[in-house]
Amino acid sequence: MAGPDIAVTGLGLVTPAGIGTAASWAGVLAGRSAAALDPALDGNPVRISCRVPDWDPDALLGARRAHRLDRFSQFTLVAAREAITDAGLDPASWDGARVGVVLGCADGGPGTVEEQHRVLVEHSAHRVSPLLLPMQLPNMLAGQTAIEFGARGPNLVVATACASGTTAVGVARDLLLLDRCDVVLTGGGEAMITPLVMAGFARMGTLSRRADDPAAASRPFDADRDGFVAGEGAGVLVLERSADARARGARVRARVAGYGASADAHHVTSPHPDGLGLEAAMRAALADAGCAPSDVGHVNAHGTATRLNDLAEARVVRRVLGDPLVTSTKGVTGHLLGAAGAVEAAFTVLGLEEQLVPPTANLEVPDPACEIKVAATATATRFDLALSSSMGFGGQNAVLALTTA
Amino acid sequence: MFEKLKEILVNKLKVTPEQITLEATLEDIELDSLAVVELSLVLETELGVSVSDDELLEAETVGDMVKLIEQGSARV
């Protein structure tokens, strides 16, 4: 492999498919959609969502800590703790000054904002919680992670809407290559399933309206798809330079071999119809990794199940890569928005380890306009290079090239 | 009043009940300036007692806060 050598040494997941990497991965491989009617969305035009099942922040974080965290930070701290343990690292003894945090989210804590706005309108400004800002500011995702684990290195949150998780991993990798730190906790967390945000998505026409059959609503690349289902959760990866990982005897789960990013400069919500921006990001990731398009065995696609996204993305995959096995794990998890890219990068790492391409849930009749090979079932196959791609509102594209350890 | 304050600290601010004694300092029960503003707000909405966060921050211990709240209720 000609590209820069960054190792993934730890994974942590909190997703609608389950809490923990093992539960999430098992849920994804089973191809069972997590989508269901959501009582919190009663009265909304769209009431389907993918919630993290049996979420009990008091039990996982302690009631006092959980009380002062918005849901997006709660998910992320739990995922980060798992990732650190998985990497065999110990925050009690690491050199915190050399541990960076780069996380992505699209919206911070809208649930907290909406709750406190209600207090303002129904009572008065004097009743607004002093925790409003420390809970909802997007950067708290990285700030709270630093506080929790004593990570005192470079610390930031990136926002590229639905590409945020992927962008974060790319930026984290760059920090390691620049020797700004030795370890980075990276990924993303999101909790945007709130009445106001969901009303906004519904008004944009981006959400599936299959209310009579929620489990069939998230159907990427299917001919009958009609929009995405919003999900929530977090994914955290521990990255280190491979030489450092080897030196401390860490298990290298996969490598981040390349990263590419671009902007469509086209439209706020619609991808470029020919996916020119995504193509640029994909080619950049491959060039960075020193790999040929034909080396790519698997793509974990953005695959939101909107009409426009899947079509544009399929065109790019066909044109740039040819015929790799594509999957969208959003059929199971729904769209985790700013956390999606992080969670999907983790699934791609697991796929590389197990030489297994996860299924695209609800793929019944592949859209003939999407001229790519989409995995409908979990498929064992040999591959050393996989891409995980993301596209965000605003036209931001990010692609990771991941390889076997 | 100690019992009422303890109930609020436990139920609203999620402080661990075992930590709350009359002698415990604000630091012992992890009440920072944000939590004290929160407490002042809850005292007003739950008990109708007006004690400002500045007054509460003067307190060294839970016992001191109890005295302040008692004085605050006397003012009502």
Which domains does chain B carry? 2-75 (1.10.1200.10)
Residue A3 is predicted with a pLDDT of 56
The mean per-residue pLDDT over the stretch A249-275 comes to: 94
Decide if B14 touches A, using CB distance below 8 A.
yes
pLDDT of residue A16 exceeding 90:
yes
Tell me the C-alpha distance between A87 and A103, whole Å: 18
Q: What is the mean pLDDT of residues A129-140?
A: 97
Q: Tell me, yes or no, whether A311 and A237 share the same domain.
A: no
Cβ of B75 under 8 Å from any chain A Cβ?
A: no
Q: Are residues A159 and A262 in the same domain?
A: no
**Residue A384 neighbours by CB under 8 Å, 6+ apart:** A295, A297, A352, A403, A404
Could you say which of A247, A277, A295 is where a domain stops? A247
- Indicate the length of chain B as a whole number: 76
Tell me: do A180 and A270 sit in the same domain. Answer: no
pLDDT at site A1? 46
Q: Give the distance from residue A76's alpha carbon to the nearest chain B alpha carbon, in angstroms.
A: 20
**CB A76 within 8 Å of CB A141:** yes
Q: Give the pLDDT of residue B74.
A: 79
Instruction: Report ipTM (2 d.p.).
Output: 0.90
- Give the domain range for residue A75: 6-247
Q: Are both A133 and A46 inside the same structural domain? A: yes
Question: Which whole number is the average pLDDT over A210-227?
Answer: 97
Is A302 annotated as catalytic? Answer: yes
Residue A267 lies in a domain: yes
Q: Is residue A345 part of a domain?
A: yes
In-domain check, residue A133: yes
Q: Collapsing DSSP states into helix, strand and coil, what is residue A73? A: helix
Domain co-membership, A262 together with A243: no
- State the average pLDDT over residues A215-243: 98
pLDDT confidence of residue B72? 85
A93 found inside a domain: yes
A237 with A340, same domain: the answer is no
CA distance A249 to A330: 34
| Three-state secondary-structure class, residue A108 | coil
Domain boundary among A183, A214, A247: A247
Please determine, for residue A145, whether its predicted confidence score (pLDDT) is greater than 80: yes
- Number of independent structural domains in chain A: 2
CATH (domain of A309): 3.40.47.10
Residues of chain A with Cβ-Cβ distance to B38 below 8 Å are: 129-131
Going by pLDDT thresholds of 50, 70 and 90, the confidence category of residue A273 is: confident
Residue A253 maps to a domain: no
In whole angstroms, how far apart are CA B35 and each of A110, A339, B9?
A: 21, 30, 10
Q: Is residue A1 included in any domain, yes or no?
A: no
Checking if the pLDDT of A253 tops 60, the result is: yes
| pLDDT (average), residues A380-387 | 98
* Interface contact flag, A134 B34, Cβ < 8 Å: yes
Out of B14, B34, B45, closest to residue A64 by CB: B14
Q: Do A201 and A266 sit in the same domain of this protein? A: no
Percentage with pLDDT > 70 across chain A: 99
Where a domain ends, among A247, A281, A299? A247
Please give the share of chain A, as a percent, with pLDDT higher than 90. 97
pLDDT bracket for residue B76 (50, 70, 90) = low
Q: Say yes or no: A151 and A264 in one domain.
A: no
Mean pLDDT of chain A: 97
| Residues B39-62: tens digit of each pLDDT | 999 999 999 999 999 999 999 999
Look up A162 and say whether it is catalytic. yes
Q: For residue A252, tell me if it sits in a domain.
A: no
Going by pLDDT thresholds of 50, 70 and 90, the confidence category of residue A132 is: very high
A342 within domain boundaries: yes
Q: How does pLDDT run across A28-56, given as a tens digit for each residue?
A: 999 999 999 999 999 999 999 999 999 99
Residue among A162, A181, A291, A370 flagged as catalytic: A162
Amino acid at A86: D
Question: If we measure between CA atoms, which residue out of A380, A379, A364, A360 comes closest to residue A31?
Answer: A360
- Single out the residue of A326, A321, A319, A333 nearest to residue A367, CA to CA: A326
Mind listing the pLDDT tens digit for each residue in A318-369?
A: 999 999 999 999 999 999 999 999 999 999 999 999 999 999 999 999 999 9
Do the chains contact at A130 and B15, CB–CB below 8 Å? no
